Structure 1
Amino acid sequence: MEDALNIENKLRGYLFGTACADALGRPVERLTLEQIRGKYGEDGILEFPPESPWTDDTQLMLVLARGLLNGAELELPRLMDKIAEELILWLDEPDLGAGATTRGAALNLRDGIPWSMSGINSKTCGSLMRVGILGFIFQNDPEKLIKAASLSGRITHSHPTADAASIAGAYAVKLALDGVAPEDMFLPLLKVIEGISDEFTEAFKGSYEIAHSNLSDEEALQKIGQGWYADETFALSYFCILRYPDDYKKAVQTAVNITGDSDSVGSVAGGILGARLGIEAVPTSWVKALKEKEKLEGMVMPLLEKYFQVSGMK
C-alpha cells in the first residue's frame, strides 16, 4: 500500500485536476471550435481568470465523495443508499448545469423510487463524470470498485453505454493511481468493460487507434465526436491523455478546445492525469484561480482517512 504522503499528493492531483479542467472548459461548453477561436484566439482557451467556478461535473463528483465518506466500508446496497441520500440532498444545491437525466433520476429518488429503479435509460455522460473518486477510494479493491462504479452509475443512467463508461472512468483513475501509463491502460480497461456495450467498446478502441494515427489533434477529436454521450466523452478524454500522457496542462487544453462538451471531457481527462501525475502537474496558477477551492481542500483529509480505512479492511 502506498505511503500517506504519496497517496495524498495523488488525491489532490485527482480533485484539483478534475475541478481545474472543469473550470477551464466551463466558458466554452456548447461553443463550436470556430466560436472558441473567435473569442480566445487561434489556440483556443488556455487559461482561466481568478474566481473561476466549476460546473455540475465537479459538484456531482463531490456528491459521490460525500456518499463514500458516509459508507464506503459498507456492503454495496447500503453504500448505494448513502449515495442516493446525497443525490436527493444535491437537488437543493445551486444548479451548475446538471443534465436532465441526473436531475430526473434524483427526483425519482426523492419521490421514493428505490435506487435500483431510479435510473433513466440515457447514455449521456453524467454518471461517467462523477465516478473517478470511486477509483481512488477502492484503488486496492478492484472487484468492489467495478461493482460500485456500475451500481452508482445506474442510479441515474441505466443505459449500457453509460454503464460501461462509469466502469471505465473509475477504473482508469485506479490504474492512474497504480502508476499505469495511459498507453498501458488500454488492455485492462478493455477487459473490465468487456461485453457491456458494443457501442462503448467500439468508441474506446477507435480512440486508441486514432491517437496512434498521423491525424492532428483537431482532426482526430472531430472524428471521435463531441462528447455529449458517455462513449464519446471517455473516448475524447482517453485520446487526450494518450497524446499527452505526461503533460496535464496540454492534455486538458486539448480536451476543452472542441466542439462539444468541453467541461466534461476536460474534467475526465484532468482527473485521470491528475491522479497519475499528482498535484505538482496541475498549474499552481489554475489552483489559485479556482473558486471555492477550500471545498476541495476540506475533502482531502476525510477522503484520505476513508481510503486507508477501506484499504486496511482488505
Structure 2
Amino acid sequence: MTDTNDLIYRSRVRGCLLGGAIGDALGAPVEFWDRASIVRTCGEDGVTEFLPDMVGVDEVYGRVTDDTQMTLFTAEGMIRASVRCDRGLGFTVAVVHHAYDRWLDTQLEDGPDGTRDGWLINQQWLYSQRAPGQTCLSALISARQGERSIQRFGQPARNDSMGCGGVMRSAPFGLTPPGWAQSLEWQFDAAAEAASYTHGHPTGQLASGAQAALIAAIVAGQCLPDAVASTLAVLEGHEHHEETTDAIRRALAAAEVGEPGADVVESLGGGWVAHETLAIALYAALVHPGPEGIAEALTLSVSHSGDSDSTGAVCGNILGALYGDEALPPELAFEIEGRGTILELADDFIYEFTQSRRLHGDHFEGRNRWTTRYPGW
C-alpha cells in the first residue's frame, strides 16, 4: 500500500514541473509587452488564459520557452548524476552542466541526430528556439569549446551576469525527497553551482540557490511563509547575499500591505535579473494564498512590463510544489506543450530519488535499460 506521504511527494514534484511550464507558457507571449499593451489586449485583469502563438498559419496555445526546456534538462541531469553515484563518486553537480550542453543541441540543431545518449535529448518537440537567453548560449558554447576556451565543464562562467537564466531552471534541486539531503544547504549550494555554469555574478547564483531552498522547504512540508523564513536563514549565511535578501524582504513587505496589484509587481522590478524574478514570483504566490488562488497568482506573476515568462515559470514552480499537480488549473494544464514529456520526466525523477536500488541494483535485470535511458554522466 502506498504511503500518503509518498503520494504527496509525487504530487509536489509533478506540480512543480508542470506548474512552472504553465506559468512559462502564460507569460511567454507578453514577455516584451508593457503593462498598457497587456491591459489593451487582455483587459484589466491581465493574462488569464493562454494567448495564441502563430506557427505557420495555425494558432498554437500553451507553448513553453527555454525556461521550461532548461528546467527539464536540470531534472534529467540530476537523475543522471544520481545514477553516477553507483560508481562510488557521490552526487556530482557538474553532470548537470553536460545536461545543459545537450539542451544547447536543441537550440543549434533541427532535431536529434542519434549521436547523443539518453532519452530527453531525443524528444523532437524540444528542438525549438524560444528566445533563449544569450548569456546561457554563449557560456555553454564557450564550455563546449574546451581547451580553446577560458571556461571548462563544471567551472563557473567567466561573465558578470545576474540575469534570470539560472533561477528560472533551479527548482529541480529542491525536489529531492525530504531526508535525501542533510539540509537545505545542499539544495541551495547545488543550485547556485549549477547557475554558475552560465551566470558569473554572485546574485544570479544566490537567487537560484534561494529558489531551490524555497522549493525544498515546501517539499518538506512547510507552509510558504515558513519556507521563506527557512530560505532566508540559509541565504543570509552566504557572502554577497544582500541583494537577494533585500528583494525577498521587499516582496514580503509588499504582500503584507494593500491590495494585490500589477503596480506593486512593477515596483519589485522587471524580472530581467535573478533576484527580481524571485521577488515577483514570491509576491504573487503570497498574495493569492491557497489552491483556489493559483490562477490569480499566475496571472499576477506574468501581467507586468518585464520578463513575464520567467516570473511566471518561477511562480508556477512554487505554486505547483506547494499545492500539487491536482490543484493546477485544468483549463491551462491540459494544453501545455510537452505535457506528456514533463510528467514522464517528473515520474522518472521520483523513481530515481526514491527507488534507485530497484532501478539499477544488481538484482534488477532491466537495469541496463534504465541506465541507457539515463546514463551516469
Alpha-carbon distance in structure 2 between the residues aligned to 1:11 and 1:65: 10
Letter in 1 for 2:328: V
Paired with 2:282 and 2:250, the residues of 1 have a C-alpha distance of 10
For the pair shown, which has the larger CA radius of gyration, 1 or 2?
2
Give the gaps of 5 or more residues in structure 1: none
Is 1:167 aligned to residue 209 of structure 2?
A: yes
Aligned to 1:285: 331
Aligned to 2:135: 101
> Given that residues 181 and 245 in structure 1 are in contact (C-alpha distance below 8 angstroms), is that contact kept between their aligned partners in structure 2?
no
Partners of 2:161 and 2:178 lie apart in 1 by 27
Aligned pairs (5 A) from 1:121-160: 121-137=160-176, 139-140=178-179, 141=181, 142-160=184-202
2:71 is matched with which residue?
Answer: 61
Choose from 281, 295, 300 the match for 2:341: 295
Please state how far the C-alpha of 1:109 moved relative to its aligned partner: 1.4
The residue matched to 1:71 in structure 2 has which SS? Answer: helix
The one-letter amino acid of 2:142's match is N
- When the two chains are superposed, the root-mean-square deviation of aligned CA atoms in Å is 2.2
User: Matched residues in 2 for 1:166 and 1:309: separation?
Assistant: 27
Q: Which amino acid letter does the alignment assign opposite residue 266 of structure 2?
A: Q
Residues 179-218 of structure 1 mapped to structure 2, 5 A cutoff: 179-194=221-236, 195-214=239-258, 216-218=260-262
Quick one: structure 1 residues 2 and 106, their matched pair in 2 at CA, closer, same or farther if it must change by over 3 Å?
A: farther
Q: Distance in 2 between matches of 1:219 and 1:40?
A: 16
CA 1:119/1:83 → structure 2, altered by over 3 Å: closer, same or farther?
farther
- Shift in CA distance, 119/284, structure 1 to aligned 2, threshold 3 Å: farther
With over 3 angstroms needed to count, the CA separation of the structure-2 counterparts of 1:109 and 1:281, relative to structure 1, is same
Q: CA deviation at 1:152?
A: 0.8
What secondary structure does 1:31 align onto?
coil
More helix by share: 1
- The 2-side partners of 1:29 and 1:81 are apart by 31
Report percent identity of matched pairs.
30
Residue 71 (structure 1) aligns with? 81
1:249–1:281 Cα contact (<8 Å) kept: no
Structure 2 distance, partners of 1:311, 1:42, is: 53
Distance apart, 1:310 and its partner CA: 7.2
Report which stretch shifted further, 131-140 or 55-64.
131-140
Matched, 1:84 2:97: yes
Number of aligned residues: 312
Query: In the superposition, relative to structure 1, how do residues 167 and 311 fare at CA in structure 2: closer, same or farther (>3 Å)?
Result: farther
Deviation, 1:78, is 6.2
- Residue pair 2:46, 2:300 contacting (<8 A) in 1 also: no
Partner of 1:256: 302
Q: Which moved more, 1:229-238 or 1:184-193?
A: 184-193
CA deviation map 1:173-229 (0-9, x unaligned): 112212322222232111111133311111111111111122542221121111101
Deviates more, 1:55-64 or 1:72-81: 72-81
CA distance in 2, matches of 1:77, 1:307: 14
Aligned partner letter, 1:228: W
The answer to whether the aligner puts 1:244 opposite 2:254 as a matched pair is no
Query: 2:319, 2:272 → 1: CA distance?
Result: 21
1:309 is displaced (CA, Å) by: 4.5
Q: What SS does the aligned partner of 2:175 have?
A: helix
After TM superposition, the score normalised by the length of structure 2 is 0.78
Instruction: Name the CA distance, whole Å, in 2 between partners of 1:147 and 1:179.
Output: 21
Structure 2 unaligned regions, length at least 5:
53-59, 107-127, 359-377
Report the CA distance shift for 1:144/1:101 in structure 2 as closer, same or farther (over 3 A): same
Counterpart position of 1:6: 8
Q: Given that residues 17 and 273 in structure 1 are in contact (C-alpha distance below 8 angstroms), is that contact kept between their aligned partners in structure 2?
A: yes
Q: Displacement, 1:44?
A: 1.6
The alignment's TM-score, normalised by the length of structure 1, stands at 0.93
| Distance across 2 between alignment mates of 1:2 and 1:224 | 38
Structure 1 CA distance, aligned partners of 2:140 and 2:26?
27
Matched letter for residue 153 of structure 1: A
